[in-house]
């Protein structure tokens, strides 16, 4: 590690420490490069490198002619980082499925509590599309959007970011899951569809227990048909 890299870490540590202490918040302006260099006893080159790394991390954004500010775009950065981590870690599908189940179960709890008219309508529209769309591709897309809408209704940024990263990894499985369940057992596929109906009904009516039961059975069908 060269001197500039070590010095740039001082800049990152300075910003991190002040954020954790509550002294820097979203939209707060950072000191000018010259001021930071003097404050931390580093070169302006090191300051610029530290700021650049913080921008890549999504912590800081540069505003032309105004300076550097604490960014509020953490969700997008977290989603990008998690997507890459999941892809690189060569996770088994059953590991992804288990984590997806945990995320969706918590999202369901929050969605039932936070559900509004717009969210309920969106769920119904995606359910209708999943049940009645003309092609398997359209049905799979509506299936994906149904689950994504439910997660977004949680209104929890960490839950949403984790799920968004997961779905980039699992999207290619959704069509295969539906086709395999349908091919292996039409009765199981109809029951799988019913899980989605009841999941939407649970959110619309505020019945958490019905939603948990539907979600449990949904992932049971996925596990028995795909993991094997």
> Is 3-72 in CATH node 1.10.10.10?
yes
Sign of the dihedral through C-alpha 182, 186, 192, 195: positive
Domain boundaries, the chain: 3-72, 76-227
Q: Are 82 and 165 in contact (CB under 8 A)?
A: yes
> Is 76-227 in CATH node 1.20.120.530?
yes
Could you read off the pLDDT of 104-154 as tens digits, one per residue? 999 999 999 999 999 999 999 999 999 999 898 899 899 989 999 999 999
Based on C-alpha coordinates, what's the Rg of the chain? 23
Show pLDDT as tens, one digit a residue, over the chain (228 residues).
445 557 889 999 999 999 999 999 999 999 999 999 999 999 999 999 999 989 888 889 999 888 999 987 766 776 677 667 666 666 677 777 888 899 999 999 999 999 999 999 999 999 999 999 989 889 989 998 999 999 999 999 889 888 887 776 666 666 677 888 888 888 988 999 999 999 999 999 999 999 999 999 999 988 875 544
**What is the predicted pLDDT for the residue at 228?**
47
What token pair was written down for 158? Answer: 């960490």
Compute CA 91 distance to the chain's CA centroid, rounded to the nearest angstrom: 17
């Amino acid at each position: 590690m060269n001197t500039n890299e070590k010095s740039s870490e001082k800049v990152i540590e300075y910003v991190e420490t002040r954020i954790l202490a509550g002294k820097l918040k979203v939209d707060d302006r950072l000191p000018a490069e010259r001021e930071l260099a003097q404050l931390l006893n580093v070169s302006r080159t090191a300051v610029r490198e530290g700021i650049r790394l913080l921008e890549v991390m999504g912590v800081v954004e540069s505003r032309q002619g105004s300076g550097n500010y604490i960014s509020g775009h953490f969700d997008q950065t977290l989603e990008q980082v998690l997507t890459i981590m999941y892809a690189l870690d060569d996770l088994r599908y059953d590991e992804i499925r288990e984590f997806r189940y945990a995320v969706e179960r918590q999202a369901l709890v929050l969605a039932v509590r936070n559900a509004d008219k717009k969210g309920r309508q969106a769920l119904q529209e995606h359910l209708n599309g999943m049940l009645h769309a003309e092609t398997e591709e359209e049905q799979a897309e509506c299936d994906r959007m149904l689950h994504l809408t439910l997660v977004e209704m949680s209104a929890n940024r960490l839950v949403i970011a984790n799920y968004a990263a997961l779905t980039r990894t699992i999207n290619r499985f959704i069509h295969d899951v539906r086709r395999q369940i349908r091919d292996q057992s039409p009765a199981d596929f109809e029951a799988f569809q019913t899980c989605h109906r009841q999941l939407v009904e649970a959110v619309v009516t505020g019945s958490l227990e019905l939603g948990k039961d539907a979600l449990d059975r949904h992932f049971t069908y996925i596990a028995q048909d795909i993991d094997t």
